[in-house]
Chain A
Amino acid sequence: MRLLACLLALWFAAPAAAQDSMPPAPWAYRQLDDPAQEARAQALMETLRCLKCQSQSIADSDAPMAGDMRSQVRQRIAAGEDPEAIRSWLIERYGDYVSYTPRLTSLTWPLFAMPLVLLALVMLLLRRRLRKGDSA
């Protein structure tokens, strides 16, 4: 009975699965043979956004598109490309959204200024708080 339910479910699931039935890209679920290259690819993949998922990197996703991107990254790393060059190429294709590392642009500079402002504020607050106390 259980097996029958299984088979039935698989039967009904088949049309839904058909969309994804293209075999995944060659390097989507396969590591590069050279550990140093694979480490470089992994580090890059962890900072690229999976565009089909919501808040996962392509290194954390089952989405077919993330698989294709992993395959691209691994092939390009294996061909000796620089990780940052690959990032730029992806940004050119998909926009800034694809990279979890924000670039410094006219629109994103506050992201980089904010920590400095906070740092200055922290210094100021600590000096005021602690020096005032000192005089007591």
Chain B
Amino acid sequence: MIAELGLAALWLAASLAALQLLAGALAVAGKGGDMAGLVRPAAVVQGLLALMSFAALILLFARTDLSVLLVATNSHSAKPLVFKIAGAWGNHEGSMLLWVTVMGLAGGFVALIDRRLPERTMLATLAAQAFVSLGFYGFLLMSSNPFARLDPAAAEGAGLNPLLQDIGLAFHPPTLYLGYVGLSVAFSFAVGALITREVGPLFARAMRPWVLGAWIFLTLGITAGSYWAYYELGWGGWWFWDPVENASLMPWLAATALLHSVSVLASRDALRTWTVMLGVVAFSMSMIGTFLVRSGILTSVHAFAVDPERGAFILVLLAIYIGGALVLFGLNAASISEGKRFSVVSREGALVVNNVMLSAILGVVLFGTLYPLVTEAFDTRVSVGPPYFNPVSAVFFVPMALVLMAGPLLRWRQDNAGRLGRPLIIAALAMMAALLAFVLLGGGGTLALIGFVLAGGLAAASVMPLKGRNLRRTPLAVWGMVVAHFGVAVALAGMACESAFSVEKLVAVRIGESVVVGPWRVVLRGVEPVAGPNWTALEADMTASYQDSATVAVRPQARSFWSPPQQTSEAALVTHRFGQLYAVLGEAAEGGRWQLRLWWKPFVTLIWLGGLLIALGGLLALTSRVAFDMRRGFARRRIVMRREDTGR
């Protein structure tokens, strides 16, 4: 019954999306008459119906209703409840349902609250949002029905991939999806503005909170995903340039560029066409990412849905949306003027460098990710990995980071480079200090060196916009920028340290023996069997002490899940002020020894701390923008009320 209700809600939501599209399109064309009044309510109800449908799916998973095919193939009655619920989106159908739900809710929210844009642009935006939603509803209903029944019901479910049974990963996909789908709103705004050709600061201000919000979720999603790979895969790697990681990085790069250009448009009315273009590109990258992951076309660690038919469906959707938006851009962009001019040395000039470099990195990642498909067509399989991506993206990252040191200090429109003499000398000194520290500490690796030096300069330069300001009266938006840029420096420092200073020890030891890893002494005291709800494991009982200080317990496990049968290693991490000790229990070796893998990774946690700071910076900026808009909204209403009073 619940499954049928969910399916009915999904069909209704799809038909409301069709109505929203039709009414919106007619109204924009000027033929709708009263139809225009339908658009906003349709958007709201559509969002609620999608939410109902998703709630039904969650309920089915929570109850492990094995008469539903999706539940039977992806869940198991012996799983902890939180993973049963997370299982609802840990598969293809469920994650697509989550996608349309978030998209519907976002559209409904825009319809409900946004009153800034000219009504015609708004209607075009909502029609565009419905058009995109409709494709994904069609995809769900035609080829990936999450509510299909299984008759007779299964006796037991097939289980969820044990690697996914991790609290971090349970919430990693929804976070990324909020980001992806938030960008759909930016896309719809861009398409709406292209249709009515009203691109200006108003449009930028309406779009900005969505871009910021989506970008925050993408940042958090990528950070969490990277940390998950780090501790779950058991070898201490934190970024693999895996196609699925790239699929989340590409929208992030585009959104980062968009975020900066939209703020130029909002405050200076410059970079109009460029901003619209990035709005189209950002969501296109989200869809390409989804296509790469969901079609399984690039098999990788993450691709759990391997189904070429669905890939073809998404490919057609991609062609329609991206192609359509680009055609629209080609037709209408010429009639949108560039906006205000600015000189090379200005805040805008620096932001143009940021935009162009981020776009180039995006190009590198996109090309490197897709190129193996091209060679496969010629029967040669090649791999494009870290040795390609790292140096090539650095070519574009380094100049961007250098400009980033000066950019936030520049004035809008026109500035004099000579004014920046002192701050730039300080940044240069910080870079030299970093260089010296790196050499003295005996670090190795060219890229690590470059990263470390840039991190030093950036850390110093990023806080300089606060100089000479009264810190308590500094606008939140400035704090947001400072925190996010400082976060970039922090993450960069972490990456450089991890690559330059990590110590690795692979050993086979007897019970009672000790191993020295960097400043740590680790003792293996025993290995015992332990059991969890759906796994059994061997657990090592170890102690570790940092430079002969007090010992801490370290308990890595080698787990065996039985449904589906799979082995995973659960690393044990000891977080210290100066970094992390990473311990993994391997197999039993001859002579009663146990294989241990131990790493000392100095300052590795800075990578994710930096990611969190970047997201926090975004949150501060978003808060400041939303608060500003709300104050303005109140003020406007008060003026209207006063006018009405005096009119009487």
- Chain A residues within 8 Å of B, Cβ to Cβ: 2-3, 5-7, 9-10, 12-13, 16, 23-24, 29-31, 39, 42, 46-47, 49, 53-57, 59-62, 95-102, 107-108, 110-111, 114-115, 118-119, 121-122, 125-126, 129-136
Given contacts A31-B505, A122-B357, 11 further A-B contacts (CB under 8 A): A6-B530, A29-B595, A39-B444, A55-B241, A96-B380, A97-B382, A100-B387, A101-B388, A108-B382, A111-B367, A129-B356
User: Can you list, as one digit per residue, whether each of B18-47 has a CB less than 8 Å from chain A (1) or not (0)?
Assistant: 000000000000000000000000000000
Tell whether, in the assembled complex, residue B386 and residue A115 are in contact, meaning their CB atoms are under 8 Å apart: no
* Residue B423 is within 8 A (CB to CB) of chain A in the complex: no
Given contacts A126-B356, A130-B352, contact A29 B240 (CB under 8 A): no
* Residue B587 is within 8 A (CB to CB) of chain A in the complex: yes
Tell whether, in the assembled complex, residue A102 and residue B536 are in contact, meaning their CB atoms are under 8 Å apart: no
Sort A-B residue pairs by CB-CB distance and give the 10 closest, nearest first.
A100-B385, A136-B341, A55-B242, A60-B235, A97-B381, A101-B387, A9-B536, A130-B344, A55-B300, A6-B529
Q: Which of A16, A29, A53 has the most CB of B within 10 A?
A: A29
Tell whether, in the assembled complex, residue B536 and residue A5 are in contact, meaning their CB atoms are under 8 Å apart: yes
Distance between B511 CB and nearest chain A CB, rounded to angstroms:
18
Given contacts A54-B299, A134-B344, contact A121 B386 (CB under 8 A): no
Contacts of A118 in B (CB 8 A): 360, 363-364, 396
List 20 A-B pairs, Cβ < 8 Å: A2-B531, A5-B531, A10-B529, A13-B565, A42-B504, A47-B387, A55-B300, A57-B385, A95-B381, A96-B383, A100-B385, A102-B388, A107-B375, A111-B368, A111-B384, A114-B364, A114-B367, A122-B356, A122-B396, A130-B349
Contacts of A107 in B (CB 8 A): 375, 378, 380, 382
Q: Which of B235, B242, B244, B569 has the most CB of A within 10 A?
A: B235
Contacts of B243 in A (CB 8 A): 55
Cα-based distance from A98 to B360 in the complex (angstroms): 27
Q: Which of B241, B363, B385, B595 has the most CB of A within 10 A?
A: B385
Tell whether, in the assembled complex, residue A125 and residue B388 are in contact, meaning their CB atoms are under 8 Å apart: no
Cα-based distance from A110 to B301 in the complex (angstroms): 26
Contacts of B368 in A (CB 8 A): 111
* Residue B104 is within 8 A (CB to CB) of chain A in the complex: no
Tell whether, in the assembled complex, residue A12 and residue B562 are in contact, meaning their CB atoms are under 8 Å apart: yes
Tell whether, in the assembled complex, residue B383 and residue A133 are in contact, meaning their CB atoms are under 8 Å apart: no
Tell whether, in the assembled complex, residue B597 and residue A29 are in contact, meaning their CB atoms are under 8 Å apart: yes
Tell whether, in the assembled complex, residue B383 and residue A99 are in contact, meaning their CB atoms are under 8 Å apart: yes
* Residue B395 is within 8 A (CB to CB) of chain A in the complex: yes
Task: Kindly identify which residue among A16, A100, A115, A131 contacts B384, using a CB–CB cutoff of 8 Å.
Answer: A100
Contacts of B242 in A (CB 8 A): 54-55
Tell whether, in the assembled complex, residue A56 and residue B343 are in contact, meaning their CB atoms are under 8 Å apart: no
Tell whether, in the assembled complex, residue A10 and residue B367 are in contact, meaning their CB atoms are under 8 Å apart: no
Given contacts A54-B299, A57-B385, contact A126 B353 (CB under 8 A): yes
